Amino acid sequence: MKPVTARGPSVPLVAGVVLLVVALVGGLVLWAVSRGGGLEAEGSTNALPEGGGVRLGATSQDAPQVHVYEDFQCPFCGVLEESVGAELAERAEAGEIGLTVTMMSFLDGSLGNDSSHRAANAALCADDEGAFLDYHAAVFAGQPEQEGAGWTDEELLGFASEAGLTGSALESFTACTQGDAYGDYVEAMQERANRDGVTGTPRLLVDGEQVGDDQMRALMAGPETLDEVLGSTP
Protein backbone atom coordinates (compact mmCIF):
# COMPACT_ATOMS: atom_id res chain seq x y z
CA MET A 1 0.00 0.00 0.00
CA LYS A 2 1.59 3.29 -1.10
CA PRO A 3 0.14 6.55 0.23
CA VAL A 4 0.06 9.25 -2.42
CA THR A 5 0.52 12.36 -0.30
CA ALA A 6 3.38 12.77 2.14
CA ARG A 7 3.56 16.47 2.84
CA GLY A 8 1.34 19.14 4.29
CA PRO A 9 -1.82 17.02 4.87
CA SER A 10 -5.05 18.87 5.31
CA VAL A 11 -7.33 18.16 8.26
CA PRO A 12 -9.50 15.73 6.25
CA LEU A 13 -6.39 13.94 5.03
CA VAL A 14 -5.04 13.61 8.56
CA ALA A 15 -8.36 12.13 9.62
CA GLY A 16 -8.05 9.57 6.86
CA VAL A 17 -4.44 8.86 7.69
CA VAL A 18 -5.06 8.20 11.34
CA LEU A 19 -7.73 5.68 10.48
CA LEU A 20 -5.22 3.81 8.37
CA VAL A 21 -2.14 4.23 10.51
CA VAL A 22 -3.27 1.80 13.22
CA ALA A 23 -2.51 -0.96 10.75
CA LEU A 24 0.85 0.51 9.83
CA VAL A 25 2.45 2.03 12.90
CA GLY A 26 3.26 -1.31 14.51
CA GLY A 27 5.82 -2.12 11.86
CA LEU A 28 3.84 -2.90 8.73
CA VAL A 29 4.95 0.12 6.72
CA LEU A 30 7.97 -1.75 5.38
CA TRP A 31 10.35 -4.32 6.83
CA ALA A 32 13.99 -3.65 7.56
CA VAL A 33 16.36 -6.55 6.96
CA SER A 34 19.32 -6.91 9.29
CA ARG A 35 22.63 -7.07 7.49
CA GLY A 36 24.64 -7.96 10.57
CA GLY A 37 27.09 -5.10 10.00
CA GLY A 38 29.20 -3.29 12.57
CA LEU A 39 28.25 -0.31 14.69
CA GLU A 40 31.64 1.31 15.07
CA ALA A 41 31.03 4.31 12.78
CA GLU A 42 31.59 7.78 14.21
CA GLY A 43 28.64 10.12 14.17
CA SER A 44 28.08 13.87 14.37
CA THR A 45 28.37 16.17 17.38
CA ASN A 46 25.28 14.91 19.22
CA ALA A 47 25.24 11.38 17.84
CA LEU A 48 25.25 8.52 20.31
CA PRO A 49 27.78 5.72 19.85
CA GLU A 50 26.96 2.46 18.08
CA GLY A 51 24.36 3.97 15.77
CA GLY A 52 22.16 5.12 18.64
CA GLY A 53 20.87 8.22 16.86
CA VAL A 54 21.10 11.95 17.56
CA ARG A 55 20.35 12.92 21.15
CA LEU A 56 19.36 16.42 22.23
CA GLY A 57 17.78 18.05 25.25
CA ALA A 58 17.69 16.80 28.83
CA THR A 59 19.85 13.83 29.77
CA SER A 60 18.51 13.46 33.30
CA GLN A 61 16.22 10.49 33.78
CA ASP A 62 13.94 12.82 35.73
CA ALA A 63 12.85 14.27 32.39
CA PRO A 64 10.84 12.19 29.87
CA GLN A 65 13.16 10.49 27.41
CA VAL A 66 11.63 10.36 23.94
CA HIS A 67 13.04 8.22 21.14
CA VAL A 68 11.74 8.60 17.59
CA TYR A 69 12.54 6.07 14.87
CA GLU A 70 11.79 7.43 11.43
CA ASP A 71 12.68 7.37 7.76
CA PHE A 72 12.73 10.71 5.95
CA GLN A 73 10.82 9.17 3.02
CA CYS A 74 8.09 7.69 5.21
CA PRO A 75 4.78 9.56 4.64
CA PHE A 76 3.45 8.72 8.08
CA CYS A 77 6.66 10.02 9.65
CA GLY A 78 5.90 13.25 7.83
CA VAL A 79 2.42 13.33 9.36
CA LEU A 80 3.86 12.77 12.85
CA GLU A 81 6.48 15.48 12.33
CA GLU A 82 3.89 17.98 11.14
CA SER A 83 1.68 17.21 14.12
CA VAL A 84 4.12 17.12 17.05
CA GLY A 85 7.60 17.70 15.66
CA ALA A 86 7.79 21.40 16.52
CA GLU A 87 6.47 20.77 20.03
CA LEU A 88 9.01 18.01 20.68
CA ALA A 89 11.82 20.19 19.33
CA GLU A 90 10.76 23.13 21.51
CA ARG A 91 10.65 20.98 24.62
CA ALA A 92 14.03 19.41 23.86
CA GLU A 93 15.62 22.83 23.30
CA ALA A 94 14.12 24.00 26.61
CA GLY A 95 15.59 20.97 28.40
CA GLU A 96 12.16 19.67 29.34
CA ILE A 97 12.65 16.33 27.57
CA GLY A 98 15.43 14.25 26.14
CA LEU A 99 14.92 13.63 22.43
CA THR A 100 16.73 10.94 20.47
CA VAL A 101 16.14 10.65 16.73
CA THR A 102 17.17 7.52 14.86
CA MET A 103 17.05 8.15 11.12
CA MET A 104 16.52 4.86 9.33
CA SER A 105 17.09 4.32 5.61
CA PHE A 106 15.35 1.06 4.78
CA LEU A 107 12.93 2.73 2.38
CA ASP A 108 15.77 3.31 -0.06
CA GLY A 109 15.70 -0.37 -1.00
CA SER A 110 11.95 -0.44 -1.55
CA LEU A 111 11.73 2.86 -3.40
CA GLY A 112 14.79 2.32 -5.57
CA ASN A 113 16.73 5.42 -4.54
CA ASP A 114 19.19 6.60 -1.89
CA SER A 115 17.29 9.64 -0.65
CA SER A 116 16.79 8.40 2.92
CA HIS A 117 20.52 7.79 3.25
CA ARG A 118 21.48 11.15 1.77
CA ALA A 119 18.92 13.07 3.84
CA ALA A 120 20.05 11.37 7.04
CA ASN A 121 23.69 12.11 6.26
CA ALA A 122 22.82 15.75 5.58
CA ALA A 123 20.94 16.00 8.88
CA LEU A 124 24.00 14.70 10.70
CA CYS A 125 26.11 17.32 8.91
CA ALA A 126 23.62 19.96 10.08
CA ASP A 127 24.02 18.63 13.62
CA ASP A 128 27.69 19.57 13.48
CA GLU A 129 26.60 23.14 12.75
CA GLY A 130 24.08 23.24 15.60
CA ALA A 131 21.09 23.07 13.28
CA PHE A 132 19.89 19.47 13.50
CA LEU A 133 16.32 20.15 14.58
CA ASP A 134 15.78 22.99 12.12
CA TYR A 135 17.24 20.99 9.25
CA HIS A 136 15.26 17.90 10.27
CA ALA A 137 12.06 19.96 10.17
CA ALA A 138 12.97 21.46 6.78
CA VAL A 139 13.51 18.05 5.18
CA PHE A 140 10.13 16.80 6.34
CA ALA A 141 8.46 20.05 5.26
CA GLY A 142 9.98 19.47 1.84
CA GLN A 143 8.89 15.84 1.61
CA PRO A 144 7.82 15.17 -2.01
CA GLU A 145 4.11 14.80 -2.65
CA GLN A 146 4.79 11.55 -4.52
CA GLU A 147 6.34 8.92 -2.29
CA GLY A 148 9.59 7.69 -3.78
CA ALA A 149 10.37 10.87 -5.70
CA GLY A 150 13.12 11.63 -3.20
CA TRP A 151 15.31 14.74 -3.14
CA THR A 152 18.00 16.00 -5.42
CA ASP A 153 21.38 16.91 -3.96
CA GLU A 154 20.54 20.54 -4.64
CA GLU A 155 17.32 20.28 -2.63
CA LEU A 156 19.10 18.73 0.34
CA LEU A 157 21.69 21.49 0.24
CA GLY A 158 18.94 24.10 -0.07
CA PHE A 159 17.28 22.95 3.15
CA ALA A 160 20.37 24.21 5.00
CA SER A 161 19.46 27.80 4.17
CA GLU A 162 15.94 27.16 5.47
CA ALA A 163 17.57 25.88 8.66
CA GLY A 164 19.44 29.14 9.03
CA LEU A 165 22.94 28.08 7.97
CA THR A 166 25.03 30.80 6.34
CA GLY A 167 28.66 31.68 5.74
CA SER A 168 31.32 29.27 6.94
CA ALA A 169 28.71 27.04 8.61
CA LEU A 170 26.96 26.59 5.27
CA GLU A 171 30.28 25.87 3.57
CA SER A 172 31.17 23.23 6.16
CA PHE A 173 27.72 21.68 5.88
CA THR A 174 27.99 21.55 2.09
CA ALA A 175 31.38 19.85 2.15
CA CYS A 176 30.18 17.37 4.76
CA THR A 177 27.04 16.54 2.80
CA GLN A 178 28.69 16.24 -0.59
CA GLY A 179 31.36 13.98 0.87
CA ASP A 180 28.84 11.65 2.54
CA ALA A 181 30.87 12.20 5.70
CA TYR A 182 28.51 10.24 7.93
CA GLY A 183 27.41 7.60 5.47
CA ASP A 184 28.78 4.82 7.67
CA TYR A 185 26.91 6.16 10.67
CA VAL A 186 23.70 6.27 8.65
CA GLU A 187 24.18 2.56 7.96
CA ALA A 188 24.96 1.99 11.64
CA MET A 189 21.67 3.64 12.67
CA GLN A 190 19.75 1.32 10.39
CA GLU A 191 21.60 -1.71 11.73
CA ARG A 192 21.09 -0.60 15.33
CA ALA A 193 17.37 -0.17 14.68
CA ASN A 194 17.28 -3.66 13.18
CA ARG A 195 18.92 -5.09 16.28
CA ASP A 196 16.51 -3.15 18.48
CA GLY A 197 13.63 -4.89 16.68
CA VAL A 198 12.30 -1.79 14.94
CA THR A 199 10.69 -3.12 11.78
CA GLY A 200 8.86 -0.05 10.52
CA THR A 201 8.35 3.64 10.99
CA PRO A 202 7.27 5.81 12.67
CA ARG A 203 8.05 4.30 16.04
CA LEU A 204 7.92 6.35 19.25
CA LEU A 205 9.23 5.32 22.65
CA VAL A 206 8.89 7.23 25.92
CA ASP A 207 11.21 6.17 28.72
CA GLY A 208 11.89 2.97 26.81
CA GLU A 209 8.24 2.01 26.38
CA GLN A 210 6.67 1.93 22.93
CA VAL A 211 3.73 4.28 22.44
CA GLY A 212 0.67 2.24 21.49
CA ASP A 213 -1.43 2.47 18.36
CA ASP A 214 -4.28 4.44 19.93
CA GLN A 215 -1.95 7.11 21.27
CA MET A 216 -0.06 7.26 17.97
CA ARG A 217 -3.31 7.85 16.11
CA ALA A 218 -4.12 10.67 18.50
CA LEU A 219 -0.66 12.25 18.13
CA MET A 220 -0.93 12.18 14.36
CA ALA A 221 -4.25 13.98 14.57
CA GLY A 222 -2.78 16.77 16.70
CA PRO A 223 -0.55 17.57 19.67
CA GLU A 224 -3.33 17.76 22.25
CA THR A 225 -2.47 14.39 23.81
CA LEU A 226 1.31 14.91 23.89
CA ASP A 227 1.42 15.68 27.60
CA GLU A 228 -0.49 12.50 28.34
CA VAL A 229 1.90 10.49 26.19
CA LEU A 230 4.89 12.06 27.94
CA GLY A 231 3.35 11.42 31.33
CA SER A 232 3.51 15.11 32.21
CA THR A 233 1.04 17.79 33.22
CA PRO A 234 0.17 20.59 30.75
pLDDT of residue 60: 84
In a domain, 177, yes or no: yes
Provide CB contacts within 8 A for 55, sequence distance 6+. Answer: 46, 47, 48, 98, 99, 100
pLDDT at res. 11 = 40
The reply to whether 104 falls in a domain is yes
For residue 141, list its beta bridge partners: none
Say what the pLDDT of residue 13 is.
41
Residue 2 within a domain: no
Q: Which residue range(s) make up the domain with 204?
A: 11-230
CA dist., res. 101 & res. 86, Å (int): 14
Please give the torsion angle defined by the CA atoms of residues 39, 40, 43 and 49, in that order, rounded to the nearest 10 degrees. 70
Residue 143 lies in a domain: yes
Residue 175 lies in a domain: yes
Each residue's pLDDT, cut to its tens digit, for the chain (234 residues) gives 333 333 444 444 444 444 444 334 443 344 444 444 579 999 999 999 999 999 999 988 889 999 999 999 999 999 999 999 999 999 999 999 999 999 999 999 999 999 999 999 999 999 999 999 999 999 999 999 888 898 999 999 999 999 999 999 999 999 999 999 999 999 999 999 999 999 889 999 999 999 999 999 999 999 999 999 998 644
Q: Look at residue 4 and tell me if it is in a domain.
A: no
Phi then psi for residue 101, to 5 deg, are: -120, 120
The count of structural domains within the chain is 1
Does residue 5 sit within a domain? no
Q: What is the CATH number of the domain that holds 202?
A: 3.40.30.10
CB 55 within 8 Å of CB 139: no
pLDDT for position 204:
97
Q: Is residue 216 assigned to a domain?
A: yes
End-to-end CA distance of the chain: 37
Does residue 100 sit in helix, strand or coil?
A: strand
Within the chain, residue ranges assigned H as helices are 11-21, 75-80, 86-93, 107-111, 115-128, 132-141, 153-162, 167-178, 183-195, 213-221, 226-230
